[in-house]
Amino acid sequence: MQIPWQAVDPETLESLIEAFVLREGTDYGEQEKSLAEKVEDVRAQLQDGRAVLVWSELHETVNIMPAGEVGADT
């Protein structure tokens, strides 16, 4: 199930994004980005619809996923 990012408390959203960024371990190429920069990148993706918050009933967790990867049953 998708959760509108606007419906999440700002501090909670910040924590969710930070946790996502820290566990993803994404390679940013030759120039590494700071945690703050990575968080802002993900926030921008949520705001413009490229990424969405998804609640997993099975795992009882919230994840951030690319919008194109979220199925109709999510």
Q: Would you give the distance in Å from CA 17 to the centre of its chain?
A: 5
The pTM score is 0.81
Q: Would you give the distance in Å from CA 54 to the centre of its chain?
A: 9
What is the rounded distance in angstroms from the CA atom of residue 51 to the CA atom of residue 70?
A: 9
> What digits encode the pLDDT tens for the residues 49-59?
999 999 999 99
> What digits encode the pLDDT tens for the residues 12-54?
999 999 999 998 665 656 677 888 999 999 999 999 999 999 9
- Residue for token digits 């919230």? 62
